[in-house]
Amino acid sequence: MKKFLIYGALFVLPLIVVLVSLECLLRQVPNPYKYKYEWMQKNAEDVEVLVLGNSHTFYGIRPEFLDGKAFNLANGSQGMKEDLFLLKYWADRYKKLKTVIYPISFSTWFVGRELEDDIEAYRCRYYTIYMDGNLYPSLPYYNFELGDYRTAKDKAARIISSKDDPGCDEFGWSTAYSLSKKKMNKWNDGTEADAAVKRHTAKSWNHIDLHYARMKELANFCKSRNIQLILTTTPCWHSYYDHLDNKQLAKMHELTNQYVEESGAIYFDYLKDQRFEADDFFDSNHLSDIGATKFTKILNEDLNKSVLESGQQ
């Protein structure tokens, strides 16, 4: 028995050393979560505009084209729970923050699952490992890069290729959706748009109260600190918005307008904005790099107009 334990230890210890070493290496691979946390740690006192939200703002709003010191804290599939956590994390350090931009997507009020229950639950570990988050169960899956084979494999490949791109520019905007990478086959045949509409159409409206309560928490945070909350629905291509469920779309606008009246937020709806052309989109509901530049400049102009109008009243 003693020999068995010794041989077992001799076998297991090297494996543990390899796994620990690999975990440490994977955590050194640049990623947007790590970059954004470190940027905010250095700049929270000076930031004036924060962009929160999901992929629509992560890919769609370029802070370099907004007035003031702006930064994009959005991430793919990021939900209100994660947004509130990130916004409040540096609450005692904000000195100049005056604007928070938040997206209202077709599915915002209706999302039926938390991130940890979603198909992209692997993202939960990034908030735990890189953003000092304590939002999910204390399971190995949410605490180690090696907890997900697919993403670990991709990061290992990046180590081998020596790629050091964090997946976003210096302002936190994702550089992934460049027009040159657009998948024209799915764009042309409509399969991507059909899949997106199906994915974003709610199976039930049972979670509206939860999301509304979280949005009220966001509004209260901003009000208490004299921060202007800006809501925006980013532009989409007609292959997407032409096929949206009319009842859900009407309810989305009803809830958003109600929220604006109660919270004092300002809402800009660009969903069907005809100024945007095919090349402005990477897919049916996300802007390309060209479209993001165009959209951010339009949004910035509208923000400035709203400030002037409110000052004149």
| Chain segment 188-224, per-residue pLDDT in tens | 888 999 999 999 999 999 999 999 999 999 999 999 9
Average pLDDT over residues 285-298: 98
In contact, 184 and 279? CB cutoff 8 Å: no
In contact, 283 and 192? CB cutoff 8 Å: yes
| Cα distance between residue 53 and residue 3, in whole Å | 57
Instruction: Look up the CATH superfamily of 48-120+171-312.
Output: SGNH hydrolase (3.40.50.1110)
Query: What's the pLDDT band for 2 if we cut at 50, 70, 90?
Result: low
Would you state the pLDDT for residue 4? 55
**Closest to 22 measured CA to CA, from 145, 154, 129:** 145
If DSSP codes are grouped into helix, strand and coil, which group holds residue 150? Answer: helix
Query: What's the pLDDT band for 309 if we cut at 50, 70, 90?
Result: confident
Q: 16-25, 47-56, 144-153: which has the highest mean pLDDT?
A: 47-56
What does the block give as tokens for 17? 């050393």
Would you state the pLDDT for residue 233? 98
- To the nearest whole percent, how much of the chain has pLDDT over 70? 93
- What is the enclosing helix (H) or strand (E) of 220? helix 208-224
| Cα distance between residue 275 and residue 272, in whole Å | 9
| Cα distance between residue 231 and residue 271, in whole Å | 12
Query: What's the pLDDT band for 229 if we cut at 50, 70, 90?
Result: very high
pLDDT for 286 beyond 90: yes
Would you state the pLDDT for residue 140? 74
| Cα distance between residue 306 and residue 81, in whole Å | 28
Q: What is the pLDDT of residues 81-134, one digit of tens each?
A: 999 999 999 999 999 999 999 999 999 999 999 999 999 999 999 999 999 999
Would you state the pLDDT for residue 96? 98
Whole-model pTM: value is 0.94
Domain boundaries, the chain: 48-120+171-312
In contact, 126 and 27? CB cutoff 8 Å: no
Bridge partners, residue 102, by sequence: 231
Query: What's the pLDDT band for 149 if we cut at 50, 70, 90?
Result: confident
